[in-house]
Chains A and B, each alone.
Chain A
Amino acid sequence: MSQKPPTYLGGEYGMRSWLLTLDHKRIALLYLLGVTFFFLLGGVFAVLVRLELLTPAGDLFQSETYNKLFTLHGVFMVFFFLIPGIPAVLGNFLLPLMIGAKDLAFPRINLLSWYIYMVGGLFTLYAMLAGGVDTGWTFYTPYSSTYANSHVIAAALGIFVSGFSSILTGVNFIATIHKLRAPGLSWFRLPLFVWAHYATSLIMVLGTPVVAITILLVAVERLFHVGLFDPALGGDPILFQHLFWFYSHPAVYIMILPAMGVISEVIACFSQKRIFGYKFVAFSSLAIAVLGFLVWGHHMFVSGQSLYAGVVFSLLSFLVAIPSAVKVFNWIATLYRGSISFEAPMLYALGFIGLFTIGGLTGLFLATLAVDVHVHDTYFVVAHFHFVMVGGTVMAYLAGLHFWWPKMLGRLYPETLARITAVIIFVGFNLTFLPQFVLGYLGMPRRYHVYPLEFQVLNVLSTAGASILGLGFAMTAVYLPWSLRYGKKATPNPFDARGLEWTTTSPPMAHNFEEVPVVSTEAYERDEPEVVHV
């Protein structure tokens, strides 16, 4: 056996070697630190919000403080955790490994995008420390542009800056997937994780500039009183909503598509199967990316947009549900005649399927014009998007983090503890968010600091659930770092998975592979002889 080159974690040491690194794997770990920090921050705000909602009266915080808390929860979770989360951490680490490349196409731009992300995040953090923002993460005008008495501009600039990080990451991924695939790795041999990230990158590149410009326009109106969105200045408040949702609805797919990519990988591995209907799963990602750009108006059914616009957006919103349904059915079909084992990543993935199904189905309620009128801006919506974002994206993020943890850091996480934690998170999640569907149909509006007494029972259940959920996250935050020192050393392929990333060492060497891999098999192909067609 020839002498192994040092891993990417070894070789060079010291702050400098990390902060100036061009290695996509090290940059992924830098992102992991950033993303985890903002997730914990957003989580603390969520805890405070849920605590306040234990009682109908506003007894823990002033209304102003409460409004800042839910705004900061939304801003940090959406812009600094959910959007970069899976692509910038797992995508960054895995894309080159999965396609047999040494690095991303533009390593320097990759490092730059991390710095931009951190600057944006810290700028927003400054807005928070300087007094907070109380507009909600949606920044609706003219409240945000004229009336809000908080640090809107600082927060807006933070989001504006971090948008460039998204765009650069998207460009980098697209170029990498087009140009750096190993010999023999044709498009239809790519892991579905790569397809999902390709679709995500398209949205990042095409959508992000729109929200950046929109947020800039809010700042321009606030600073210079140029009439853009405030009718008192001659502007149009609905224009903002069109511009904002033109990005922010596709942004939902930036958050969920990579998650779907993770789920495909995990299910293929732990059922020891090829993904059923590979091409349908791959193309459904692209279908979601394209259709996702045409449904923004479903956020505005009661905003006074024309009735006919509402009808068109409703129809398109129903259509975007189809490719998601196709994915779910194909994952289930993949389990058929598999050899299924239930390590922590698989538990998260199975949890994802159940929760995402509920998240998706409740999306149909909101796409239905007449029903949306009643549930719009109520806790029904809050429950729906937390099912998709937490039940979907966060579950998939945890699935992926556990699945590739041995590959990324060379140590196994503690399996039993991780399984128990996955179950705790699943139970806590459901107890937190299922009652909110009921609350929503009862009519409790979102962003309410005080609420009528009859809603208290369901709110108490929700807060109880949140404490269980919080416990689950806290356990993860303890045992994963613990495993770095005390976890068992990982072999190159501890889960018997397929894919080029499992053919190199754990953790990989600086340039990923000793020699350029050549691919001659389909994605997820196993040695089992019979491939049957049904």
Chain B
Amino acid sequence: MFQDFSLWPASASSNSGSIDALYLFLIGISVFFSLLIVTALLFFSVRYRRRPGHRAQQIEGSLPLELLWTGVPLVLCLFIFAWGTRLFYRTQTMPEEGMRFHVTGKQWMWKIRHPSGQSEINTLHLPVGQKILLTMISEDVIHSFFVPAFRVKKDVLPGMYSSLWFTPTQVGTYHLFCAEYCGTKHSEMGGQVIVMDPAEYQAWLDGRPSERNPLANGALLFQNLRCDTCHTPGPSARGPELAGRFGRDVTLSDGQTVRFDERYVRESVLEPAKRLSAGFQPLMPSYQGQIGESDILDLSAYLKSLRSSRSPQ
């Protein structure tokens, strides 16, 4: 029962230290105010206990005191708010570069796809010291990707990508949990995150059965699903050319613009008519039911790699 017992979680990512510092500060504030209140409560309880000859003295109130105990907590709260928000902003803003992993959640497992194509279930091998970027989506209900040792958590939603990043700083094995209740085996939806030396990670990758990497798989899908018949360069094309578009703004047929990103790619594959590029007819069929979430992400990876010339890398 006392095996591995501890009162403080392992601290193994670039986020851990700064979040722990703020948490400790909050504990300090809480202990201070709790002691203040309990001490006053106990002191008054003893000092002014009811006894013969002792009478209560009526006091209506005090404006300076009210201002004091409104003002001091307010200032402290604003300070904590500013600290927490700054840290949140820093940890939630996705960096441009890093190793991109795809995570798909479904009842009750995590499927993880490495940048080089290998996939695994309920276990995530990572190289230490690298920026890890996760793009996540659920195939059914809401899940939440939670690694306590990294102090990261993000809900994984059906129909919408969410993303998460961190840099593992300590080699070791850590818990991976689902934190959003997702049905019968919610508490068994999880496993391990194994952080390794980069060389070991490479060796681990090499030992896995080889799979097409997301880019190559995306290119293959682009052909097999016949995307290339319409999305070709030239004035007579029935669909917009896609090379060099990723990350830019697209003008829609109603005059609005939308960022050409993973989310737009996914929507266009599943509901092509919803936000149509300006100058094109709604001819494209929906691929709903014909393509899985993991493949859509590969398609995005492929489109992202296309520079303005048509030839894939």
A460 touches B1 (CB 8 A): yes
B152 touches A280 (CB 8 A): no
What's the nearest-Cβ distance from chain B to residue A370, in Å?
4
What's the nearest-Cβ distance from chain A to residue B32, in Å?
10
| A449 contact from B87, B148, B149, B187, Cβ within 8 A | B187
Find chain A residues with CB under 8 A from B38 CB: 354, 357
A302 touches B153 (CB 8 A): yes
What's the nearest-Cβ distance from chain B to residue A298, in Å?
12
Say yes or no: A530-B57 contact (C-beta < 8 A), given A364-B80, A374-B19, A447-B181: yes
Is B203 located at the chain interface by the 8 A CB criterion?
Answer: no
Is A248 located at the chain interface by the 8 A CB criterion?
Answer: no
Say yes or no: A361-B34 contact (C-beta < 8 A), given A371-B23, A530-B57: yes
Which residue in chain B gives the minimum CB-CB distance to A369?
A: B88
Which residue in chain A gives the minimum CB-CB distance to B74?
A: A322
What's the nearest-Cβ distance from chain A to residue B175, in Å?
6
B153 touches A332 (CB 8 A): no
Q: How far is the CA of A338 from the CA of B293 in the complex (A)?
A: 67
| B5 contact from A271, A447, A457, Cβ within 8 A | A457
Is A136 located at the chain interface by the 8 A CB criterion?
Answer: yes
Say yes or no: A528-B66 contact (C-beta < 8 A), given A140-B181, A147-B107, A321-B73: no
A325 touches B73 (CB 8 A): yes
Is B155 located at the chain interface by the 8 A CB criterion?
Answer: yes
B77 touches A321 (CB 8 A): yes
Residue with the highest number of chain B CB atoms closer than 10 Å, among A143, A336, A450, A526: A143
Interface string of A121-165 (1 = CB under 8 A from B): 000000000000011101010110011100000000000000000
A373 touches B162 (CB 8 A): no
Segment with Cβ contacts to B, from A202-210, A213-221, A309-317:
A309-317
What's the nearest-Cβ distance from chain B to residue A426, in Å?
13
What's the nearest-Cβ distance from chain B to residue A231, in Å?
3
| A534 contact from B37, B62, B155, Cβ within 8 A | B62
Q: How far is the CA of A450 from the CA of B189 in the complex (A)?
A: 10
Is A169 located at the chain interface by the 8 A CB criterion?
Answer: no
Which residue in chain A gives the minimum CB-CB distance to B136?
A: A304
Is A273 located at the chain interface by the 8 A CB criterion?
Answer: yes
A441 touches B9 (CB 8 A): yes
Which residue in chain A gives the minimum CB-CB distance to B178?
A: A445
| B57 contact from A64, A448, A460, A532, Cβ within 8 A | A532
What's the nearest-Cβ distance from chain A to residue B305, in Å?
26
Say yes or no: A332-B140 contact (C-beta < 8 A), given A361-B33, A373-B152: no
B154 touches A302 (CB 8 A): yes
Q: How far is the CA of A369 from the CA of B41 in the complex (A)?
A: 32
Q: How far is the CA of A441 from the CA of B142 in the complex (A)?
A: 22
B26 touches A365 (CB 8 A): yes
Interface string of B3-28 (1 = CB under 8 A from A): 11111110000000011001100100
B66 touches A377 (CB 8 A): no
Is B158 located at the chain interface by the 8 A CB criterion?
Answer: yes
| B180 contact from A140, A301, A358, Cβ within 8 A | A140
Is A454 located at the chain interface by the 8 A CB criterion?
Answer: yes
Say yes or no: A143-B1 contact (C-beta < 8 A), given A350-B41, A368-B81: no
B81 touches A147 (CB 8 A): no
Find chain B residues with CB under 8 A from A533 CB: 59-60, 62
Q: How many residues of B contact A (CB 8 A)?
A: 86
Find chain B residues with CB under 8 A from A322 CB: 70, 73-74, 77
What's the nearest-Cβ distance from chain A to residue B16, in Å?
9
Say yes or no: A277-B62 contact (C-beta < 8 A), given A329-B69, A377-B144, A442-B9: yes
Say yes or no: A373-B91 contact (C-beta < 8 A), given A148-B183, A368-B26, A443-B148: yes
B92 touches A307 (CB 8 A): yes
Q: How far is the CA of A284 from the CA of B44 in the complex (A)?
A: 24
Which residue in chain B gives the minimum CB-CB distance to A441?
A: B9
B61 touches A278 (CB 8 A): yes
Interface string of B130-145 (1 = CB under 8 A from A): 0000000000111010
What's the nearest-Cβ distance from chain B to residue A77, in Å?
17
What's the nearest-Cβ distance from chain B to residue A507, in Å?
27
Is B199 located at the chain interface by the 8 A CB criterion?
Answer: no
Find chain A residues with CB under 8 A from B187 CB: 58, 63, 445, 447-451
Which residue in chain A gives the minimum CB-CB distance to B159?
A: A231
Which residue in chain A gives the minimum CB-CB distance to B92?
A: A307
B59 touches A534 (CB 8 A): yes
A337 touches B56 (CB 8 A): yes
Find chain B residues with CB under 8 A from A301 CB: 88
Is A175 located at the chain interface by the 8 A CB criterion?
Answer: no
Q: How far is the CA of A460 from the CA of B5 in the complex (A)?
A: 12
B8 touches A442 (CB 8 A): yes
B3 touches A454 (CB 8 A): yes
Q: How far is the CA of A301 from the CA of B92 in the complex (A)?
A: 11
| A353 contact from B8, B37, B91, Cβ within 8 A | B37
Q: How far is the CA of A64 from the CA of B69 in the complex (A)?
A: 48
Residue with the highest number of chain B CB atoms closer than 10 Å, among A58, A140, A370: A370
B181 touches A457 (CB 8 A): no
Is A272 located at the chain interface by the 8 A CB criterion?
Answer: yes
**Residues of A450-478 whose CB lies within 8 A of B:** 450-454, 456-457, 460
Q: How far is the CA of A311 from the CA of B78 in the complex (A)?
A: 12
Find chain B residues with CB under 8 A from A530 CB: 57-58
Find chain B residues with CB under 8 A from A528 CB: 55-58
What's the nearest-Cβ distance from chain B to residue A294, in Å?
15
Segment with Cβ contacts to A, from B45-53, B204-212, B242-250, B276-284:
B45-53
Which residue in chain A gives the minimum CB-CB distance to B7?
A: A438
Is B177 located at the chain interface by the 8 A CB criterion?
Answer: yes
Q: List 23 A-B contacts (CB under 8 A).
A: A135-B181, A140-B180, A142-B158, A231-B160, A232-B159, A272-B55, A274-B59, A280-B66, A302-B153, A304-B154, A319-B74, A332-B44, A336-B48, A339-B49, A357-B34, A365-B26, A377-B144, A443-B175, A447-B187, A448-B187, A453-B1, A525-B58, A530-B57
New A-B pairs, 10, CB < 8 Å, besides A450-B187, A453-B3, A533-B60: A67-B186, A274-B59, A325-B73, A332-B37, A340-B44, A353-B37, A358-B30, A361-B34, A368-B26, A445-B146
Going nearest first, the 5 A-B pairs with the smallest beta carbon separation are A443-B148, A231-B159, A368-B84, A369-B88, A370-B87
